[in-house]
Chains A and B, each alone.
Chain A
Amino acid sequence: MSLTLLAVQTLNGLQLGILLFLVAAGLTLVFGVMDFINLAHGVQYMLGAYLAVAAFQLTGGFWSALPLALLAALACGLALEFVVFRRLYDRSHLDQVLATFGVIIFLNEAVKTIWGAAPLSVPLPALLDGSIPLTETLAYPVYRVALIGAGIAVAALLYLLVTRTRLGMLVRAGASDAEMVAALGVDIRRLFMLVFGFGAMLAGFAGILAAPIFSVEPGMGDNLLILAFVVIVIGGIGSIRGAFLSALIIGLTDTLGRSFATDLARLLLPPAAANDVGPALASMLIYVLMAAVLFVRPAGLFPVRSA
């Protein structure tokens, strides 16, 4: 458990946290403003990654593929909203969970049918294809640092958008009481569509950023989705600030837990048992955290809704 390992794992944790934030930001807004549980949000992340692959094959360059894939992700999100989701807003949570579960099943299979089940990848852009030396023996890839930077920039932009603009004000008002906002003469359906499209694009952006470093495969969004739900439940549904903080907490807890849980378990248990218990404990850590937060503060760390 050396200091450099700790530094590298902290950076990895931040990177996971940033990706989680990009997915969770859309999820928490859609959930907060529209009271709509969208299990298919993780699929948007997967779509982003696949669209990046397709756009890269089309254009041959990362920087030209990026805006193309981003627009395509936005289009996919809006199409889904138009065809399926807008019929679900005033349904029960159970109906929403089920219908979006159906969308997951469909899109996972569609991706498998179009691109095949084998993992794909996008090469790193040449500009960011280097590494930063941390010590004499250890270096950290530039791309991953750039990813963290891009995520923080998006988070800052989002924060300004939500707290400083008229649109952001409406979104915040919608999150605390959507009916009242509608009663005051705001076209809530259009606001919903805007928020939804924006959220889908953010998740797609996360997928595009992830495409060069993770393998692009069907179902890659499912696990991230569950993590994103943990993030928004801990952060408080509808709160961007809460989503950002808890995404970083979850990213760091999960990554650091995975690298050090076995070592920590060894302090208390015989080595053979520790090798078993460590990884299980690490996988469980964030769920334990969520159960604890829900038990102590049922509305999350930064509750939005007044009721």
Chain B
Amino acid sequence: MMAPSSRLRDVLMPLVLFGALAAVPLYATLADDRFILLFATRIAVMALAALSLNFILGFAGLVSFGHAAFIGIGAYAVGILAENDIWGAWISLPLAVLAAGLFALVTGAISLKTRGVHFIMITLAFGQMAYYTATSLSAYGGDDGLTLWGRSEFLDTPVFSDDTWFFYLVLALLAGAYGLLRRICGSRFGRVLAGARQSELRLEALGVSPYAYRLVAYCLAAMIAALAGALMANQAEFVSPSAMSWHRSGELIVMCLLGGLGSLHGAILGAIAFMVLEEGLSGVTEHWRLIFGPLLVLVVLYGRGGLLGLLDLGKRS
């Protein structure tokens, strides 16, 4: 690794990303473009979910194929409370995070006993269980989903109801989660996770069993994903089982890989790239997936290290 330039990138790149996102409302006001503000909100919410996955996927090396379930749990917590006329964000957000944490604690405790392909498959299985539970909630929309008649409330402030405020709320939570996860990655706890990714055997020879560390990381990632889900429900004012389909879990993995698994902010870059690409291509042709699919294959085959890796390569040559 080239220490100085990569350190510069590790500081500079996140600053550029967050700076660009923070400037969107200003641009939206100047250009009188409401769409871009809503689009950027959707991106930031997705980035939060992808960031949480990248923490366990890229950093801890756990290929979870059921991450969408946690997003769904967060979204349904908001939806179900709203359906029962409870709109306070100070109730719904903590409850969303807690519910997902509990679900992750139980499923993680079982899943983390397995390795490799079996871990991918068992997390997929738990994701599917959550999905089918959501489709069976006939009191809360079942297959069709649930339309919310408004957004959460927070102490009579406009943070949820006003689009610009809401965007900054999402961005602040994204920045907070990023800061927290970065601190964790640099701590002793994080070093154990990274060590377990590289060699579980070596770590155990040092007298450290990674199981408990992984479980805590798994729960933490789930809780952040649930927060993203709760925000997603507020953003769309709609909750449906499709938020936790296995396609969504796959898309989240794509975002992480697209940005680059090597660093946490790769997920944020990946989420931006994924959503902009999707939006841009679908503007060109109705059959945009014909372009998107092969593009994905090409990224996997030739784009090692994702977009961040490409930036690195540019610097080196």
Contact = CB atoms under 8 A, between A and B. Distances in A.
B17 interface: no
B128 A298 contact: no
Interface string A271-307: 0000111011001100110110011001000000000
Contact of B287 (A37, A98, A112): A112
B125 A291 contact: yes
Contact of B125 (A88, A109, A230): A230
Contacts of B75: none
Contacts of B138: 275-276
Contact of B63 (A88, A93, A237, A280): A93
Given A101-B250, A101-B254, A106-B293, A287 B128 contact: yes
B297 A84 contact: yes
Contacts of A188: none
Contact of B117 (A93, A113, A230, A291): A93
Interface residues of A, number: 44
Interface string B125-159: 11011001101111100000000000000000000
A179 B36 CA distance: 53
Given A102-B295, A226-B246, A108 B117 contact: no
A294 B120 CA distance: 12
Interface string A113-133: 100000000000000000000
Given A93-B116, A98-B257, A233 B293 contact: no
Contact of B296 (A102, A109, A237): A102
Contact of B129 (A99, A276, A287): A287
Contacts of A110: 290
A106 B294 contact: yes
A276 B118 contact: no
A91 B116 CA distance: 14
A109 B121 contact: no
A280 B113 contact: no
Contact of B301 (A99, A101, A275, A294): A99
B292 A105 contact: yes
A190 interface: no
A107 B292 CA distance: 11
B300 interface: yes
Q: B interface, by DSSP: helix, strand, loop or mixed?
A: helix
Interface string B95-138: 00000000000000010011111101110111011001101111
A65 B254 CA distance: 38
Interface in B277-297: 287, 289-290, 292-297
Contacts of A287: 125-126, 128-129, 132
A163 to B, nearest CB: 25
A104 interface: yes
B133 A284 contact: yes
Contacts of A256: none
A101 B133 contact: no
B253 interface: yes
Contact of A94 (B133, B137, B247, B257): B257
B306 to A, nearest CB: 11
A50 to B, nearest CB: 16
Interface in A169-189: none
A290 B301 CA distance: 32
Contacts of B65: 97
Given A93-B116, A95-B300, A290 B293 contact: no
A164 interface: no
Contacts of B126: 287, 291
Given A94-B257, A98-B300, A101-B254, A107 B122 contact: no
B293 A104 contact: yes
Contact of B128 (A84, A99, A108, A226): A226
Contact of B113 (A95, A222, A295): A295
B250 A113 contact: no
A87 B133 CA distance: 38
Nearest to B290: A109
A105 B296 contact: yes
Interface in B289-316: 289-290, 292-297, 299-301
Contact of A280 (B118, B132, B246, B290): B132
Contacts of A226: 124, 128, 246
25 contacts: A84-B297, A94-B57, A97-B65, A97-B120, A97-B250, A97-B253, A101-B253, A101-B254, A102-B293, A102-B295, A102-B297, A105-B289, A105-B296, A106-B290, A106-B292, A113-B290, A230-B125, A283-B136, A284-B133, A287-B132, A290-B122, A290-B125, A294-B114, A295-B113, A298-B114
Given A103-B297, A107-B293, 8 more contacts: A87-B301, A93-B63, A94-B63, A101-B296, A105-B293, A237-B117, A294-B118, A298-B115
Interface of A: 31, 37, 84, 87-88, 91, 93-95, 97-99, 101-110, 112-113, 222, 226, 229-230, 233, 237, 275-277, 279-280, 283-284, 287-288, 290-291, 294-295, 298
- Nearest first, the 7 A-B pairs at minimum CB distance are A106-B293, A280-B136, A102-B296, A109-B289, A105-B293, A283-B132, A99-B300
